[in-house]
Structures are given as structure tokens and as C-alpha cells.
Structure 1
């Protein structure tokens, strides 16, 4: 009698933790699902209860950072990248998780690989290894969940995190050289645009100045020509030594240009003579 009672209590009374759910089967066929707490079933082998942790977040790693375990994926522009990522998932329907799929963990891995390849095929190389990774993760999660729901797998995908998205190890050096060339190209283009903008602004300024002078010239041509002549002569002769004397029998008795050269260290000099006005 004691053995019978022990057998009945062991196979009929079940305690489930707050994170667990129990799937009850009758002669191997699904009967119902019970929640946390104390659950009663018929003794084994009539009924059996299998506990599942539905709150646990399971992680399925895909790919590896080791060169010997490449996970190569083709991009939109027909480049190949080596990807490694983690898929985090949990159980949302215990009965489907147990009975719908033969190997649910293997199914999650295969679905994730298929979804990743289908998603990366819509992105080019620069996006797949750069700022497009977050968008790729979101699309892969949506694709995975849609496929798993179609399979009635009872799996809920929590997140997809890309750990590595690089070119294959065999072409890493060449890829870095291409990136360096692209960055240099962008730098040269930016320098050219800045120089073009500077030249354009200078030309616009000179054009505006010319338009102002032309308006003054139309109003007073002679005065404007004389002023331009004086300004031009001032620019030409402003940085050289010069001595202006009147024509006639006047002879310079002091070597003024030579003295100025010695004092300033400059070597240019101009002597201008003209008629007395």
C-alpha cells in the first residue's frame, strides 16, 4: 500500500514553478496544458506531464568569428560577406513546440539562416557591413517569425543580433584597400567642390565690382578712366623705389634710389621724368 501511494503521489501530483508550463498527454496523445502551481493528473502510464520553461530566453548562435567556420552570404551587388549572429527566442506555445516539429532547435537555426540570406540579398555590401545592419536585423526577425508561425512551431523570436559582418578573410586586405581608395576619392571630391565654390564666389565678387565701375563709367567716363589709371599706377609703382623729377636742366645731385635700396633691402627702382605742367 505504501508503494502504491508513493507511486500515485509521484506520478499524479506535480508542482510547476512560475516560469513553467506543463503539457499533459494521455497514452501519448496531447490532452491539455497546465500553468504554474500544483497540477493533478492520472498516474503514469495513463497520463504524463512534461514541464517546459516558457520564460527562458534561448540563444542560437549562427556562424563564428573563426576563419575555419565561415558563414558566407551573398549581397545585392554580388559581393560575399562572412556573417555571424545570434538568434534569441522563447517558447510561446508548449504543446506546439513539443509535437509540431521533430527538432525545433534545428528548425530555428535553419529558418534563421534562410531568412538572413533572403534579407541580405536586398542590401549592397556597404549597407550590409555598415549602417544597414539594424534594418537587416529587423527584417530577419520578421521573416523568421512569419515562417515559424506558418510551421505552427510555437516559437517566439525575441531578437536577432549581428556579431560580425565582414568580407571573407581571403580578401580582407583588398577590401581595406578599396575602402581607403573610396575615402580618398570622397576627400578629393570634397576638396574640388570647396575650391570650385571659392573660385565661383571670387568671380561673382569681381563681376559685381566690375558692374559698379561700369555704372560709374557710364555716368562720368573721363573721371572714371583717370581714377582707374591712378589706381593702376599706384598698384604697379607702390612697391618699388621711384624718383619723380621735372624735365629740363635739373640733375639729381643725391643718389636717392640707391640710398633707399640700402635702407630697405629692396632692389627695384624706377625713375620717372616728365614735363612740367
Structure 2
């Protein structure tokens, strides 16, 4: 391959490209580095400088266009939005992707509208029953309307901080100390969120409150020990009440059961007494009818029945002999015991024989 021929490329083609030295010379002449040595040269050089100045202006103009275009074209992420102000007046709101603005004329405000922001503050509040309590509240919020966020309020988040304090003071002022410290915290957070959102909508801040939490509620440090004693006493009171209620639930049903049992017994005794009385009345009526028919026979029968009833329950009998001075003693108890022993012996012998 022939490299000596400078007018041709290595593949035999004609090389029409300008020489590098020539390019340097032309560039030097454009910048005015090369000075004319003759008047003719000066005349011709003047025409060349005029042409070079126009080229410089053209190059500078294109360079300015490139830089200006790079400042005008920008890209937004999926979570970002931009508000464009043209000469201080709202022009448009731009979303994700490539966007265009007039640099130097348009003002651009870019914010992340998907980002959830958080703010926490602690303040001393006065409750409904005129007690002081330290409340720590936190709010989670995001930008819902970027145009309102940028244009309507100078410091939207500063307005949010002031609105939180105002809403919290209003709601805590409607609740007692006991509600604020114990069971009412969830309701307080809900009321604060609604009131805070109403304030922000009135101000047209473009902010949306997503959640409000009451992080902590404590009495002031100066009275914390006394308050702890009150809380402990309240817990003891509730514990004793629960124990009393539990004892009542265990003893009252038992007492009611015993009362019902006694009522049943009384009713049964009542029925028994009434039935016995009615039976005695019926027996006496029948006996009266028999007595009216045969008085002496009935009288003797009643006498014998009475003796039988008395003597059947007696274990000792004394017999008076007519015309004598001696009494006959019959030990019926001993006789009955002996008869029982003999009867038991016979029963045992029968069992042995059966086995």
C-alpha cells in the first residue's frame, strides 16, 4: 500500500479533505491571530475577517440555542409535578415525562406529590376541667393540589403547623383530663384531623391530611407524682369494684337458689298440712256419723284405739291387779330386744344355709 501519495487515501481514492495545518491557519485567522503584512493582504484580510465575524455570530447563536434548549427541556419523574408561571402568572401544570418551558421567562416549581410527609409537635394544653396536659401530636400529609400549594399560601407547611396547634387546642379544650389521658385519645385524634383538614381547605393550601395520631399525653412534670397517685387510686378502686361485682355474681345466684328451695319447701309443707287437716276433718266427719248410730260401741272403740296408740309406743307396762297391793311389771323393751336378737340369728343362719 502506497502512503507517499498525500493526495490519495490508502485505498487509492482521492483525498479531498483539508489539511490539518490549513485548518489551524484558518482558525487563527478567524480569531485575529494572523496579521496582514501588506495593504493588499490587509484588504483581502478585511473581507475575510468580515466573513469570519458572521460565522462567529452564527456559531455563537447556535451554541446559545443548544444551551437554551437544554434549559427549556426537562424531565419529571412519575411522582413529580411542576407548576409553570409565565411572567409571574400561572400558565400550566405539567406531569411526568419530558416537558418544555421558556427559560428566563417561565418560573418552574417542582414538588413530589406522592411523598407522605410527617410533622410532630408537643404543646401544653388546657382541658375542659381546667387542667394542664402535655400532648404530643403527629400528622401525616401530602400535596393534593400543587397549584394551590404554590400560589395561594406563602408557607403552606408553616400554615399546617399553626393549624395543627389551633385544632388541637380547640379539641382538647372540649375534653376532660381523664378523657385526654385515657380513653378519649382516639376520638381526639379523629376530631383534630377533621378540624385540621377544614382549616387547610379554608386556606386553600393544597394539602391533604392522611392521618393524625396522639402520640403521648402526660400531665405536667411538676404534678406528675401526684397524678400517678391519683391514677393508682383509680386503678385500686376499679379493681375492688370488679372483685365486689365478681363476688356478687357468685353469691347472689346461690342465695336466690336457696330462697327458691325454701319457698318450694314451704309450699310443700303447706300442701301437706292442708291435706292432713282435710283428711282429719273427713275422718272426724265419718266418725261422727258412726257415733250417732252407735254411741257406746264407738266410744269403746275409740278408747281401745287410744290405748293401743299409747301402749304401742311404750316399752314398760305396769299392770295393777284388782284387789291386790302388788304391781306387775312387764319389761317389754327387754323382751323386744331379745326377740330382735333371735330374729337376726335366724336370718343369719338362713343365709349360711343358703350359701
Which residue among 106, 120, 132 is the counterpart of 1:47? 106
Q: Who is 1:166 aligned against?
A: 218
Structure 1 unmatched ranges of 5 or more: 64-70, 225-245, 248-275
Give the direction of change, closer, same or farther, for the CA distance of 1:177–1:6 in structure 2 (3 Å limit): same
2:64 is the counterpart of 1:4 = yes
Q: CA RMSD in A?
A: 2.7
- Write the distance in 1 (CA, Å) between the matches of 2:99 and 2:199: 34
Q: Who is 1:22 aligned against?
A: 82
- Write the distance in 2 (CA, Å) between the matches of 1:144 and 1:116: 9
- Write the distance in 2 (CA, Å) between the matches of 1:211 and 1:156: 70
Secondary structure of 1:210's counterpart equals: helix
State how 1:24-39 maps to structure 2 within 5 Å.
24-39=84-99
Secondary structure of 1:83's counterpart equals: strand
Structure 2 unmatched ranges of 5 or more: 1-59, 277-314, 317-332, 334-355
Query: Considering only CA atoms, is the larger Rg found in Structure 1 or Structure 2?
Result: 2
Comparing 165-174 with 124-133, which one deviates more in the overlay? 124-133
Comparing 108-117 with 200-209, which one deviates more in the overlay? 200-209
The number of equivalent residue pairs is 220
Give deviations 1:43-101, integer Å, cap 9, x for gaps: 31x222221111122212212xxxxxxx1112233322111122111111112111211
Q: Who is 1:95 aligned against?
A: 147
Give deviations 1:95-118, integer Å, cap 9, x for gaps: 211121111111010001111111
Give deviations 1:10-30, integer Å, cap 9, x for gaps: 332121111111111111222
Instruction: Write out the 4+ residue segments of structure 1 that deviate beyond 6 Å after TM superposition.
Output: none
State how 1:57-136 maps to structure 2 within 5 Å.
57-63=116-122, 71-136=123-188
Q: Indicate conservation of the 8 Å contact 2:149/2:206, yes or no.
A: yes
Q: Indicate conservation of the 8 Å contact 1:59/1:88, yes or no.
A: yes
1:183 positional shift: 1.4
Secondary structure of 2:264's counterpart equals: helix
Q: Who is 1:236 aligned against?
A: none
Give the direction of change, closer, same or farther, for the CA distance of 1:210–1:15 in structure 2 (3 Å limit): closer
2:204 is the counterpart of 1:145 = no
Give the direction of change, closer, same or farther, for the CA distance of 1:113–1:220 in structure 2 (3 Å limit): same
1:130 positional shift: 2.5
1:219 positional shift: 4.3
Give the direction of change, closer, same or farther, for the CA distance of 1:91–1:216 in structure 2 (3 Å limit): closer
Q: Taking structure 2 as the reference length, what is the TM-score of the superposition?
A: 0.56
| Higher RCO (C-alpha under 8 Å, 6+ residues apart) | 1
- Write the distance in 2 (CA, Å) between the matches of 1:197 and 1:93: 60
- Write the distance in 2 (CA, Å) between the matches of 1:198 and 1:161: 42
Give the direction of change, closer, same or farther, for the CA distance of 1:3–1:208 in structure 2 (3 Å limit): same
